[in-house]
Amino acid sequence: MCKITINGNPLSVQDNATILEAAAMANMRIPTLCYLEGLQPMGACRVCIVEVEGSATLPASCSTPVREGMVIHTNSKRVREARKTVVELLLSEHEGDCRLCERSEDCELRKLADELGIRKNRYEGEKPSSATDTSSVALVRDNAKCIKCRRCVQVCAQIQHVGVLAPQFRGYRTTIGPAFSDPLSSVACVQCGQCAAVCPVGAIVEHSHIDEVLSALENPHKHVVVQTAPAIRAALGECFGLAPGTLVTGKMTTALKLLGFDAVFDTDFAADLTIMEEGTELLTRLMAAHQTGDRSKLPQFTSCSPGWINYAEHYFPDTLDKISTCKSPQQMFGALAKTYYAQKVGIDPAKMVVVSIMPCTAKKYEAARPEMRSSGFQDVDYVLTTRELGDLIKMSGIDFTALEDSPMDAPLGISTGAADIFANTGGVMEAALRTVHAVTTGRPIGMEDLHIAVLAGLEGIKTASVTLSGTIGVWKFLEGKEVKVAVAHGLGNAAALIGHIRDNPDEFQFVEIMTCPGGCIGGGGQPRFTTDEVRRARIAAIYREDEGKQLRQSHENPAVQQLYAEFLGSPLGEKSHHLLHTTYEQHERVKSH
Amino acid sequence: MTQYAHAEHKNSAGSCHETGVQDVIPIIDDIIGRYRGTRGALIPVLQSAQNLLGYLPKEVLIHISDQLDIPYSEVAGVVTFYSFFTTVPRGKHTVRVCLGTACYVRGGKEVLDAISKELRIEVEQTTEDRLFSLEIGRCFGACGLAPVVMIDETVFQRVKPSRIRALLDPYRIGPDQEADHETN
């Protein structure tokens, strides 16, 4: 421990703490811009400078460790003036029209300028020319707004191990972006949008589909249906000032009906269906391995997270054979909406528009993949992020917090609690194990509240094992067998887990990968700002949603059972193969044209 | 420039254009092998690759990125940061005019203008016959000799704008005589 003084208050703090951390412990807030919790501080923005007695310069508090006897001032005249100048200089190079910027409400730079009382431009700097990169399906970058804080660089390289963004060129000409400032579409961006989630200004945002959705809703000849991913209901409230983790399932449904959607459905329905297909696929692979000894398709990897699929196709082609061939719930839903549902209600699928509400930017890319047209049309037409839905609701003058609850429509709005937990890291695995256990033994999994506790929470890589006993019928070959599973979230953790599996190929039978830290609840399209505290609150809300449902196991979903009876036949059947499964292919990391 | 630029795999100026990218990949792999596990390997590897080829083509950068397990964006970040590196083929000879403070005040800019006029190219361009590329340097550490010009690895001191043609002419002679010139 070391004794320091901050703003006249004596404090005892841990030796390796930074000044920023020490001040936070004493409830003294130092403003930051480039700082991200859990990552190596960069000291790039200089906003967090403080005065240390005896030091000639003003050190950045995020990257300066405390020393015994340090006397620190976080808000002296010298600090305030210097900090103000730092922000003024950032503003002088920031080319953006705040009146029209989509981040005007939650821009960290604008907020900081306001807090520091900056009311005029003292420095009229040369502004970078606006060069908007719209080449990516999911993301739009505007370098003129970029303040070069490098949060996106850190997240992309350190959390996601993708590293397609880095500072290019030098001095005044520095830009943040792909190699040689080439378009984002020319490199192996996985479209996860974590860069957009951490950008303090409006330099990286999702490619908006709001206008397209509005014009579909206003077209009387279109039948517009909407599906909502499980993670939305635990986060959408944040767009309207509700606390993170406030469940707004019913209000969201009412809002979507008010917006004019002809039917409000649930991606949860397709998540239950995914468990039927993916669980059967796992059991089929285990049986094949038992009968032939061929383990080449094990461990089976989940396929729900489109950023992970992009990552595997670009960076880990040796896993492609092991990834479940199941489409993600979003795409299963789209394929069924324009076939099964269209037939059921007698609507020409050519006149149907499927809109998804997703916590995710990569879902925009996934919906646009050329192979995702098994209904004969683009299965999912438009994807809105949680943030975009929040904007759309505000745009329409709906008083969200005052709305009454309403239920989702049948049949594609019916779901079990197992589907809800797809939103959380570990959730797809838990949902799958609930059904796999029940199918192979005839009994529900014997865990408290059906939760596999070791798979919950924010630890980067988690493992569990379930021993199957009392197996029935064709599954007796699994009697006494231990099913070992692993879960990783954040692609850096995924890469580490895959490295481990390469060295230990027989250790696990089933592996869940989610692209974003925390799973979909921490997706790149969720309301800003997603800290670990926010992640925990959303995760807890999702488990509450699950526990509140009468049916908690996917195979019990009556609408899914009806779908198989009326339309699909059986899991992995011919129709499933055509509508619900897909293929993957290796892509080069840098386009070599 | 650091020591590596001179130390590693300097091709003779006469043959660098003829070296194909595929020919140098094994040599680059060999160099990478020696730096494996060392922090800060990227810059010396890039220098060696550029010395072999005269420039850094995209496929070589992608190869280096893969082999060193450093994101391509970061490799490009280093290449675009340092003016020493180039991704376009250079002329047979690189003329670098120092515009560091000492050279600048002693007429470096006039020397640059004269060379630019003589070669009829701007800075960072290459003559049509691919014989010369023109670049600016930022101090070669020979301030006492200012203004200074470097042609390939040779430093010329107290260069006068009027002497430019005489300076460049020896590099314009045919390839059969060149060997003699280079041993000077």
What's the 3-state SS for A458-515? CCCEEEEEEECCCCCHHHHHHCCCEEEEEEEECHHHHHHHHHHHHHCCCCCCEEEEEC
Helix ranges (H only) for A316-409 are 329-336, 342-345, 362-368, 386-395
Average pLDDT estimate for B88-110:
92
Which residue has better confidence, A97 or A323?
A323
Task: Characterise A54 by phi-psi region: left (phi > 0), alpha (psi -120 to 50), beta (else).
Answer: left
Q: In this structure, how many other beta carbons lie within 10 angstroms of the beta carbon of residue A543?
A: 20
What's the Cα-to-Cα distance from A475 to each of A420, A441, A442, A509, A531, rounded to whole Å? 27, 8, 10, 15, 43
Question: A589 and chain B: CB distance < 8 Å anywhere?
Answer: yes
**Chain B contact for A166, CB < 8 A?**
yes
Q: Where in chain A is the domain with CATH 3.30.70.20?
A: 124-206
Distance CA(A208)–CA(A509), nearest Å, equals 39
Q: Are strands A223-228 and B149-151 parallel, antiparallel or unpaired?
A: unpaired
pLDDT band at residue B174 under the 50/70/90 scheme:
low
pLDDT exceeds cutoff 70 at B177: no
A304 is catalytic: yes
Task: Give how far B183 is from chain A: nearest CA, Å.
Answer: 37
Instruction: Name the 3-class secondary structure at B74.
Output: helix
Place of tokens 């003003």: A58
Check A592 against B58: CB less than 8 A apart: yes
Distance CA A98, CA A110 (A): 8
| Residue B23 at interface with chain A, using a CB cutoff of 8 Å | no
- Return the closest-CA partner of residue A301 out of A276, A282, A273, A277: A282
Judge whether A363 counts as a catalytic residue: yes
| Backbone φ and ψ of A454, nearest 5° | -70, -15
Treating both helix axes as pointing N-terminal to C-terminal, what angle do B58-68 and B72-81 enclose, rounded to 10 degrees? 120
B80 interface with A at CB cutoff 8 Å:
yes
Q: Which residues in chain A are closer than 8 Å to B75, comparing Cβ atoms? A: 179
Please tell me the distance from the alpha carbon of residue B67 to that of residue B49, in angstroms, as a whole number. 13
The total of other beta-carbon atoms located within 10 Å of residue B82's CB is 13
* pLDDT above 50: residue A316: yes
The domain A2-75 is placed in CATH, from the list 3.20.80.10, 3.10.20.740, 1.10.10.10, 3.40.710.10, at 3.10.20.740
Judged by CB atoms closer than 8 Å, whether chains meet at A169 and B81 is answered as yes
User: Measured on CA atoms in the order A330, A334, A340, A341, is the torsion positive or negative?
Assistant: positive
Residues pairing with A64 in the sheet: none
Mean pLDDT of A479-487: 96
Name beta bridge partners: A382: A355
Q: Which of A92-106, A154-168, A310-324 comes out lowest in average pLDDT?
A: A92-106
CA distance A492 to chain B (A): 13
| Cα torsion A437, A438, A442, A445: sign | positive
DSSP class per residue in A297-331: T-SEEP---HHHHHHHHHH-GGGGGGB--BPPHHH
Domain with CATH 3.40.50.1780 in chain A: 210-269+330-402
Q: Residue A420 in contact with residue A434, Cβ under 8 Å?
A: no
Residue pLDDT, tens place only, B13-22: 434 445 678 8
pLDDT at B175: 54
Shortest CA distance from B60: residue in chain A: A592
Please report the pLDDT score of residue B181 as a whole number.
45
Q: Does B77 touch chain A (CB under 8 A)?
A: yes
Concerning whether A278 is annotated as a catalytic residue, the answer is yes
The amino acid at A446? G
Tell me the residue length of chain B.
184
Residues with Cβ < 8 Å from A511, sequence gap 6 or more? A299, A300, A301, A302, A485, A486, A487, A488, A497, A501
Amino acid letter for position A397: G
Structure tokens at A120: 């005029």
Q: Could you give the 3-state DSSP secondary structure of residue B96? A: strand
Please say whether the beta carbons of A34 and A149 come within 8 A.
yes
For the residues B46-53, what does the mean pLDDT come to? 92
Q: Among the options A278, A313, A512, A545, which is catalytic?
A: A278
Q: Reduce the DSSP state of residue A49 to 3 states and report it.
A: strand
Contact B73 A178 (CB under 8 A): yes
B72 and A589 in contact by Cβ < 8 A? yes
Q: Quote the CA–CA distance of A226 and A520 in Å, as a whole number.
A: 18
Report d(CA A368, CA A355) in Å as an integer: 12
d(CA A435, CA B134) in angstroms, rounded, equals 70
The per-residue pLDDT for B91 is: 87
Of the candidates A165, A169, A592, the beta carbon closest to that of B73 is on A165
Which residues sit opposite B126 in a β-bridge? B133
Instruction: Taking each helix axis as running N to C, give the angle between helix A210-218 and helix A386-395, from 0 to 180 degrees, rounded to the nearest 10.
Output: 50
Suggest the residue from A168, A181, A593 to mutate for an interface test with chain B (most B CBs closer than 10 A).
Answer: A168
Lowest average pLDDT, out of A91-95, A362-366, A504-508, goes to A91-95
The pLDDT of A54-75, averaged and rounded, is 96
The pLDDT mean for chain B works out to 84
Assess whether A281 carries a catalytic annotation. yes
A180 touches chain B (CB under 8 A): yes
Active site residue A251: no
Average pLDDT of the segment spanning B122-134: 91
Q: What confidence score (pLDDT) does residue A59 get?
A: 97
Across the interface, do A162 and B75 touch by the CB < 8 Å criterion?
no
What's the confidence (pLDDT) of residue B83? 82
**CB contact A317 to B (< 8 Å):** no
B:145-174 residues touching chain A, CB 8 A cutoff: none
CA distance A13 to A26: 10
Give the amino acid at A536.
R
In single-letter form, the type of residue at position A75 comes to N
CATH topology of domain A124-206: Alpha-Beta Plaits (3.30.70)
B27 touches A at CB < 8 Å: no
Q: How far is CA A547 from CA A275, A543, B106, in A?
A: 18, 6, 80
pLDDT of residue B7: 32
What is the CATH code of the structural domain delimited by A210-269+330-402? Answer: 3.40.50.1780
Q: Is A477 on the interface with B (CB under 8 A)?
A: no
Cα A117 to the center of its chain, rounded Å: 35
d(CA A138, CA A190): 10
**Tens-place pLDDT, residues A4-59:** 999 999 999 999 899 999 999 889 999 999 999 989 999 999 999 999 999 999 99
- DSSP assignment of A533-581 equals HHHHHHHHHHHHHHHTSS--SGGG-HHHHHHIIIII-STT-HHHHHHHB
**Alpha-carbon distance A43 to B2, whole Å?**
27
Is there a catalytic annotation at residue A238?
no
Distance in Å, alpha carbon of B61 to nearest chain A alpha carbon: 10
Give the CA dihedral A569, A572, A574, A580, nearest 10 degrees: 100
Helix (H) or strand (E) holding A80: helix A77-92
Architecture of domain B93-173: 3-Layer(aba) Sandwich (3.40)
Its ipTM equals 0.90
Find residue A18's DSSP bridge partners.
A65
Q: Any idea what the Cα angle at residue B12 is, between residues B8 and B15, rounded to 5°? A: 120
Chain B nearest C-alpha distance from A574 (Å): 41
A499 touches chain B (CB under 8 A): no
In this prediction, residue B19 carries a pLDDT of 65
Tell me, yes or no, if A491 comes closer than 8 A to chain B by beta carbon.
no
What is each CA distance from A266 to A382, A564, A569, in whole angstroms? 15, 18, 22
User: B64 to chain A nearest CA, in Å?
Assistant: 13
A-B Cβ pairs (cutoff 8 Å, strict): 51
Contact A187 B72 (CB under 8 A): yes
pLDDT at B63 over 50: yes
Class of domain A275-327+415-580: alpha beta
Tens of pLDDT, residues A164-191: 999 999 988 899 999 999 999 999 999 9
What is the full DSSP assignment across A443-459?
A: S---SGGG--GGG-SS-
